[in-house]
Amino acid sequence: MNRPPVRDADRTRARLLRAARGRFKRLSFEDVTLRDIASDAGVDASLINRYFGAKESLYREAFASLGTGLKLLDGPREDFGEVVARAVLDPFSGDDLTDGILIVMRAIGSPHAIQIVKDTADAWNAALQDWIGRPDAEQRAFLITSLILGVVLEYELRGGPGSEAALSGIRTRLARTLQDYLDAD
């Protein structure tokens, strides 16, 4: 089967998005420079303007490229806690969900980035509430999202739980707690 060749422009754009995600998950919007992103991607900084325009547009596309987390809602309800716990903790680095959450955390103090993040968070919460489908879905979605954010923040601050046994125990407890937030009366 012959595939059409991938244009250099497509590869360059993808490298810039990867580099931007890496920078934005480690630094605040204001602390990230287009020059640093271009350097990480191995391209000239002028290409960022060519492909994305302003820094806000690159940020929006980099954040959007991580998805919204809605794939977590695709499986059976009884597996939700386990699926989310694994997505959050296995492995921590390089995962779209955790990268997205780290970008969210870095955006909190940025007037430029917070509205972009808020729009995505609102979409996630609306989908989660819809999926939960109970009268108290808003409260449950709030608790689920807060727990996920808190675990990622704690993991980021501590660099992990220490041992594989501790990680396994945290994963089990997190899965159980998330499932309870979803199902318990």
Output the pLDDT for position 68.
63
Output the pLDDT for position 2.
54
What's the Cα-to-Cα distance from 9 to each of 15, 48, 61, 81, rounded to whole Å?
Answer: 10, 11, 16, 40
For residue 74, give the H/E element and its range.
none
pLDDT tens series, the chain, 185 aa = 555 444 588 889 999 999 999 999 889 999 999 999 999 999 999 999 999 988 889 988 888 877 667 778 888 999 999 999 988 887 544 457 778 788 888 888 888 788 888 887 888 889 999 999 999 999 999 999 999 888 888 887 777 777 888 888 999 999 999 999 999 98
Instruction: Report the CATH superfamily, name and number, of domain 8-59.
Output: Homeodomain-like (1.10.10.60)
The pTM for the full model equals: 0.76
Output the pLDDT for position 109.
82
160 phi and psi, to 5 degrees? 110, 175
> How do the domains of the chain map onto residue ranges?
8-59, 70-183
Output the pLDDT for position 122.
85
118's CB contacts (< 8 A; 6+ apart) are none
Output the pLDDT for position 6.
43
Output the pLDDT for position 165.
87
